[in-house]
Structure 1
Amino acid sequence: MRIDAHHHLWDLNAVNYPWLMEKGAVRFFGDPTPIQRDYLLPEFRKDAGAAGFSASVHIQVGAADPWAEAQWVQSVADQYTDWPLVQVAFCDLTTDDLAEQLDQLQSLPSLRGVRQIIGRAPGEDQLSGTNELLDNPKFLAGLQQLGERGLSFDLQLLPELMERTAAVLAQAPSTQVALCHAGSPHDRSEMGLEGWSKALKSLSALPQVTCKLSGLGMFDHNWCANSVGPIVETCLTQFGPERCMFGSNFPVDSLSSNYADLIARHKALVPEAQHDQVFGRTAQQFYQM
């Protein structure tokens, strides 16, 4: 089974996404204008299916009402039973009613974990203040509760935050963690990638952390297999194929490539003997599919 372990869907009539529909706002991943429209499973499935995929993992994407988004994703999973679809929903791990919110989310059969973004991009993080989660004891307690419930945590952050984050995750060893977008190496200079690789070791040293080869075009719309080759090689070396999984990050990464080119570039960079693992088995095991 080939599994796309990181993508998004949205029905703009069913769920409100304030960040997506903001007019004239250029984000760290580019101008969202081309994706300010419905993006539904049939469209995603057409591209992913043509590339050999037959199942996927939906990742929360900043809805105004996270519960409404999670319910809508469940309705999609229920409608398209021939396409195995599981989801990672949003939950604020610092909220006082965390147990109740997690109980509610776990009523959805498709739920596998939660994501609460720690870092997106340097400029945006200064405005959002999400980096401060790492210093909040409630955040650590929430991470620990996820592990107790058998839920995973999708981790999105910047290289500058890796060592601090690793110290927090080390205190929640039973919580399985998926590192989104290879840890967002936003500085693609030689020095920038050296710093990212060094910081990444703090996370790859933790056995509960698995790395997603995803989102590689967000910080470089002119990316190609050669330009991101060092990133993929470093991830495979540090984590091993058993802890690496592919994710398209569509439709966000459709701003930098089409699906066919994106998967072709990843397949060219991952040794063929590791394809079954990276493009399927790792995600199948991690997300209990």
Structure 2
Amino acid sequence: MKIDAHHHLWDLTAVNYPWLMEKGTVRFFGDPSSIQRDYLLPEFRADAKAMGFGASVHIQVGAADPWAEAQWVQSVADQFPDWPLVQVAFCDLTADNLDEQLDHLQTLPSVRGVRQIIGRAPGEDASTGTNALLKDPAFLAGLKQLGTRGLSFDLQLLPELMDQAADVLAQAPETRIALCHAGSPHDRTPQGLQRWADELTALSSQQQVYCKLSGLGMFDHNWSTASVAPIVSNCLSQFGAERCMFGSNFPVDSLTSTYKDVVSRHQELIPSLNQEHVFHGTSKRFYRI
């Protein structure tokens, strides 16, 4: 049974997603018009099951009320017990009431970790200011608390921030980290990919950091097996298959590919002896599925 370690769901009548419903705005990952609709587990599961998947990890996706989103995801997990669904919820690690927020999240059986995005894309980060989290002592304190509670952290950032992030993570060695989208290599020129690979070593050298092979089409809307081969190869080489896991990033990546295409391209690039780790074993261990 394969496990999809990174996807999203949304019910627009149950939870408000301001970024998703903003009309006429093209994002770095493409034009979201086609996904500005409900995307529910039965639709996702039909595509995933056809490719051999039987469980998944829901990742928070910018709800106006993160607690409402986490509760809704729990209700989905409860409604479909035949599909093991765990979640990574949002929490502001710098919040004054962090203890209270984490206490609430840990009342939900599906919660395995937290994501607070540090970097999305160069242009967007300039306006959000999320890059500054790495300099905030409260953020480091929050990371440490996650480890104490047995919660993981999903790390989304850009290659330019990897050295700085590595310094922070080294001070929270008990907190397991899942690097989203292979570290978002946004510059796909040969020089850009080399810089990304060099920066990635700061994270891959830390054994508590794992890597998600996900979202590879967000910065290359015409991506192919050949175009992302250097990314997959570098991740497998630096982290080892035991610390790599597959994620579809659906429905966001549906803007550039079908679910079948996303899975098939990864299968072509991952040696057969490593596929058990990448498509099952790593995510099962990391997210306790």
TM-score, reference length from structure 1: 1.00
Residue 62 of structure 1 is matched in structure 2 by: 62
The answer to whether the aligner puts 1:134 opposite 2:134 as a matched pair is yes
Identity of aligned residues (%): 73
Q: Which amino acid aligns with 2:110?
A: S
- SS of equivalent residue, structure 2 residue 31: coil
Distance of 2:253 and 2:170 partners within structure 1: 31
- Map 1:133-282 onto structure 2 (within 5 A): 133-282=133-282
Distance of 2:137 and 2:90 partners within structure 1: 19
Distance of 2:27 and 2:249 partners within structure 1: 15
Deviations 1:57-93 (A, max 9, x none): 0000000000000000000000000000000000000
Q: CA deviation at 1:107?
A: 0.1
Distance of 2:164 and 2:30 partners within structure 1: 28
- SS of equivalent residue, structure 1 residue 139: helix
Residue 110 of structure 1 is matched in structure 2 by: 110
Deviations 1:103-155 (A, max 9, x none): 00000000000000000000000000000000000000000000000000000
Distance of 1:207 and 1:285 partners within structure 2: 14
- SS of equivalent residue, structure 2 residue 119: coil
Distance of 1:206 and 1:125 partners within structure 2: 25
Unpaired stretches in structure 1, ≥5 consecutive residues = none
Distance of 1:185 and 1:259 partners within structure 2: 21
Q: Which amino acid aligns with 1:139?
A: F
| Moved beyond 4 Å, runs of 4+ | none
Distance of 2:228 and 2:96 partners within structure 1: 41
Residue 8 of structure 2 is matched in structure 1 by: 8
- SS of equivalent residue, structure 1 residue 92: coil
- Map 1:21-40 onto structure 2 (within 5 A): 21-40=21-40
- SS of equivalent residue, structure 2 residue 53: coil
Alignment coverage as a number of residue pairs? 289
Q: Which amino acid aligns with 2:11?
A: D
Residue 91 of structure 2 is matched in structure 1 by: 91
Unpaired stretches in structure 2, ≥5 consecutive residues = none
